[in-house]
Chains A and B, each alone.
Chain A
Amino acid sequence: MASNKKFKYVVLAIIAIAYVMYLPPIAQFFNKPVTVLGLPMLAAWTFLWFLVFFAALAVGSIKEVI
């Protein structure tokens, strides 16, 4: 049970970090008219934090810790 609780906090922390990555003060660093791996820089950054958030949410939900 204790490890379940730890896992829950890890999942929530990753989700929180992904949310912070989305916020304008950080996202602005990637607001440039160039491409990265074929995507606009801001889009590549956006997709990255989305994948992090989504992975944590999917695992946390299916493992029933959130």
Chain B
Amino acid sequence: MTDFNPYIPLAVILTYIIAMLIVGEVARRKGEKTIVDFFVAGRKLGIFTIFWLSAGTWWSALAFLGSNGWFYGRGITFLANLMTNAIFGFLLVVVGVRVWRLGRQLGYVSPGDIVEDYYGSKLLRFLLAVILIAFTIPYMQVQIMGGGYIFEASTQGLVPFWLGALIITLTIMIYTSIGGKRAAAWTNIIQGVLLTLGIFIGGTVIIALAGGPQNIMNWIIEHHPELVVIKSPAFWGLWFSFPIIAIGGIMGPQMILNMLSAKSEKAIRVTGGLLPILATAFMMSMFIGFAGRILEPDLADPDSVMPVLLIKYTPVAFASVILAGGLAAAMSTIDQQAHAISVLTAKDIIEGLKIRISEGAAINLGRAAIILSLITAYIFALQKPEFLAYIGAVATSGTAQFLPLLLSVLFWKRATKAGALAGLVGGTLVTIWMQFAPPAPLKALGIMSGWWGLLANVVLFIVVSLMTKPVDPEKVEKIHELANRVLT
């Protein structure tokens, strides 16, 4: 490795951060002081913006760092994320288009608007908001941690973890609270492109350093054949259950808001239909992880494989730009989640409690929620206790519990308010149970907690619905008709 100047990566990263703040300010000037504008960007986001917004929201630091680290340390199971991304695209088309149609025709700006209008239940609106917030903050914490690590690794400790994580947190706090959804969307365009280019270009260079894909494969087959097979029944359970991440991702409040923010149905269709192609990056991650085994076989932290390889084997300016893509991956998810929490708080929690406030007050309350949620996630990120890693894993399993509720609004005529409540609460409790205290025989299957939660959710939903009074048939007919009507 040539002499390393940590001020070069610092300069690159600070340039990127200043660019995000400028974009946030421009977005603020373009915006209007209305709930529709702050929460869903006035429903004006076109195809290009929705595509990169969704890519940035969906792909996080785990995609940039964690994927390579998994292949390095545990082998090929992570390729199940190809199915995860395929299902993500599928749900975006089937569910997202219909959510958009309802939002456009009925004026929805939050997940709670959808469920309360259908079920007539403020309690359901309130509980859904609480559950979504509770499971979103831990995921923000994981992203802030990822960003802090990248900052520290890129500058070789010049900027320590706590300071790097703080800079990221403050940057997001500023541009999201001043610019709302529009700022979060516009920054995501830059972040989405950066992270995609980062993975593909950085990956191409790393693969070349290790002698090319054929050389990498020959070496791995000879020295570590266990990395190219799935080793145990528990890993097959994990392979099968990876798509819960897609379900949790689509049902995350930030993705629901993306659906409501689109200018047209076509924006969501094109995004859902083409976004999975970015998942081919996981094939690249496989080679990056395996290349790491050749070049740096003794890494204590497998998640650091890409930063270490770039810093040690490539020019520092090149490594800095690529790693800025990793930072972008983390920030593009955190800002959407913080913004989503602002909507859940200012709209769904407040209306769930039957409190009436003005639009201006709602926007300011939303800004306060952005600040508080980011501070909370940052404090969690600083603790780094191991058990919080479990909470990070349960995050998407938790938000996935919204799926039966949303599908019932769009497709199932026999659903009832009582069934919806039973399913949502029961599914959430089972998810938490199976994540933190699963019975040994079930844990041995390797299936992620969210699937057990969904099973309980669906069973309770159906059984209780069949025993209780259905939603007013006229309401059902109206909403189903609007959801399935193509808008030109």
- A interface residue numbers (CB < 8 A to B): 15, 18-19, 22-24, 27-28, 31-35, 38-43, 46-47, 49-50, 53-54, 57-62, 64, 66
Contacts and interface: CB of A to CB of B under 8 A. Distances in A.
A40 B225 CA distance: 10
A35 B220 CA distance: 10
A61 B217 contact: no
A57 B93 CA distance: 9
Contact of A42 (B76, B221, B226): B76
Contact of B274 (A38, A39, A58, A64): A58
Interface string B88-122: 01100110000000000000000000000000000
Contacts of A54: 86, 89, 276-277
Contacts of A35: 217-218, 221, 228
A19 B83 contact: yes
Contacts of B277: 54, 58
9 contacts: A32-B229, A33-B226, A40-B217, A41-B228, A42-B230, A43-B286, A54-B277, A57-B90, A57-B93
A29 B221 CA distance: 18
B276 A33 contact: no
A61 B76 contact: no
A18 B86 CA distance: 10
Contacts of A62: 269-270, 273
Contacts of A57: 86, 89-90, 93, 272-273, 276
B229 A33 contact: yes
Interface of B: 76, 79-80, 82-83, 86, 89-90, 93-94, 213-214, 217-218, 220-221, 225-226, 228-230, 236, 239-240, 269-270, 272-274, 276-277, 279, 283, 286, 486
B286 A22 contact: no
Q: Nearest 10 A-B pairs (CB), nearest first?
A: A61-B273, A33-B225, A40-B228, A50-B82, A58-B273, A24-B236, A53-B86, A61-B93, A61-B269, A46-B79
| Dominant secondary structure of chain B at its interface with chain A | helix
B278 to A, nearest CB: 11
Counting chain A CB atoms within 10 Å of each CB, the highest count among B214, B229, B272, B274 belongs to B229
A39 B230 CA distance: 15
A59 B89 CA distance: 12
Counting chain A CB atoms within 10 Å of each CB, the highest count among B76, B90, B94, B217 belongs to B90
A34 to B, nearest CB: 7
B241 to A, nearest CB: 10
Given A57-B89, A61-B269, A42 B240 contact: no
Given A42-B228, A46-B80, A58-B273, 16 more contacts: A22-B83, A23-B240, A27-B230, A27-B239, A28-B230, A40-B229, A41-B228, A42-B230, A43-B76, A43-B79, A53-B86, A53-B276, A54-B277, A57-B89, A58-B274, A66-B90
A43 to B, nearest CB: 6
A63 B186 CA distance: 28
B240 A24 contact: yes
A66 B83 contact: no
Contacts of B90: 15, 57, 66
Nearest to A33: B225
A15 B279 CA distance: 17
Given A32-B229, A57-B93, A64 B486 contact: yes
A66 B76 contact: no
A61 B272 contact: yes
B93 A39 contact: no
Nearest to A39: B217
A18 to B, nearest CB: 8
Nearest to B86: A53
A48 to B, nearest CB: 10
Contacts of B229: 31-33, 40, 42
B214 A28 contact: no
B79 A42 contact: yes
B447 to A, nearest CB: 11
A13 to B, nearest CB: 14
Contacts of A19: 83
Contacts of A34: 221
A30 to B, nearest CB: 9
B286 A64 contact: no
A23 B83 CA distance: 10
Given A38-B213, A38-B214, A64-B269, A43 B228 contact: yes
A59 B269 CA distance: 10
A10 to B, nearest CB: 15
Contacts of A61: 89, 93, 269-270, 272-273
